[in-house]
Amino acid sequence: MTAAQDPVRHDPVGRYKALLGLAHTAASEFREESAARAAALGGEIFEAGRKVDSARKAEDSVRKEVTGWWREVQKRVSSVSWVSTGRLPDPDPTADPDQLDAYLSQIWNATDRFYEAVRRAVWPRKF
């Protein structure tokens, strides 16, 4: 077919309809891609929210454990007038959450050594 015989080139209405069809097709494809991307992002946001909730619960659990530990230390040394436990330590924002078990192990070991040192210092009284 020659250029002179091409109805789209010489027919403004036909050309308009062809362009309108292309625009409609492009808009439909874009809408489908956008909907798929929105669904994927929605899933990612939901999953991120679950992770945040899980991390918040883990943080609350650790705070309760550490606070309980601190209160126990305060209770045990309250009878020793020269020992002051001070206030509850602030959380360390630079701490690695993956090392939590190691940190807690260090705390328990240090607490045991502390109790032993206080016990020896107040001997022969009971601690």
Q: Where are the domains of the chain?
A: 7-122
Residue 118 burial (CB count, 10 A): 18
Residue % of the chain over a pLDDT of 70: 91
State residue 89's pLDDT score.
85
CA angle, 45 then 51 then 52, to 5°: 90
Q: Locate 83 and state its tokens.
A: 């020992």
Of 87, 80, 81, give the one whose Cα is nearest residue 119: 80
Of 83, 84, 87, give the one whose Cα is nearest residue 121: 83
The pair phi, psi for residue 4, each rounded to 5°, is: -70, -30
pTM of the prediction? 0.62
Q: Locate 80 and state its tokens.
A: 């020793």
Per residue in 44-99, pLDDT (tens digit) is 999 999 999 999 999 999 899 989 999 999 998 888 888 888 888 888 889 898 89
CA distance to 10, 86, 115, 117, per residue, from 59 (Å): 72, 23, 27, 31
Cα 64 to the chain's mean position, in Å? 19
Q: Locate 74 and state its tokens.
A: 């305060």
